[in-house]
Amino acid sequence: MQYRRRKELVSCRGLFEEELFAARDCFVRIGFCSVWEWDGGSRPFFWNWGEDFRDNMVKGMRMWIKESLESWTRQQRPPDDNIRALLLDKITVIRDRRYVARGKIELLMNYFAVSKGDTDVCVVYNGTLSGLNSSLWAPYFPLPTIQSHLRIVESGTYMADNDVGECFHNWILDERVRKWFGIDLTSNLRSETRVWERSERCAVGLRPSPYVSIRGMLWLEEESHGVPRIQKTYFDGSGLS
């Protein structure tokens, strides 16, 4: 009995230390944010979430891993000159916001830039080339097309576009997957020495990213608005510490 009690206390202490580190990180990021941008990066503010969700907000949602992967470390190709500057800007942002960090790396994820107009690009990671996406499973859910959406639009319908800033990057990546999400920055930074870092967050091109983001947003909606027949929510004052 005493051994079990001590084991439980050690487990609780470890969880508390993780939450304490996460809370400090939240406040540091708040200190760097501006009116319109998370200049210091973002992460879920977990402390008023329910017990069912809090662990996922601190450590990241656990992903379904079907099989382990062999080492794959093919060097990243240098970008084309016409997009090098735009791609470098994006890489600088994710590094400044600490969405990537040094750590153990077993796989590299090649990445490329997709144009967003003439002055912007989106960084997409190739989770297929390394085999990472095939080893991860995520529940399927359909996204509406403009044709399917218009079927329910009629006179008097109100529509809105919710643009969630830092959407994929806001969600913590499962720690077990981070070693397989290495990024070779050597050529883009024009470094004479090897620069490998790994992603700490979900990102475009990783199979579970859409599911993790939508699931997190729906959890947030439940936490903030409550559910039928349950009066208390964690944002109405009764759940605040």
Cα 176 to chain centroid distance, Å, stands at: 14
Task: Name the band, by pLDDT with cuts 50, 70 and 90, for residue 202.
Answer: very high
161 against 101, higher pLDDT: 101
Rounded to 5°, the CA angle 125-174-198 comes to 45
Domain boundaries defined on the chain: 61-139+165-225
Q: What is the pLDDT of residues 82-135, one digit of tens each?
A: 888 888 899 999 999 999 999 999 999 989 888 887 788 888 999 888 889 999
**Nearest residue to 29 via CA among 164, 197, 174, 170:** 170
- Half-sphere exposure of residue 18: CA atoms within 13 angstroms, side-chain side: 15
- Name the β-bridge partners of 101: 198
What count of Cα atoms within 13 Å lies in the side-chain half-sphere of residue 184? Answer: 22
Percent of the chain predicted with pLDDT > 90: 32
Cα(113)–Cα(83) distance, integer angstroms: 8
Measured CA to CA, the distance from residue 240 to residue 162 in angstroms comes to 26
- What would the two tokens of residue 62 be? 């656990």
CATH of 61-139+165-225, one of 3.40.309.10, 3.40.190.10, 3.10.10.10, 3.40.47.10: 3.10.10.10
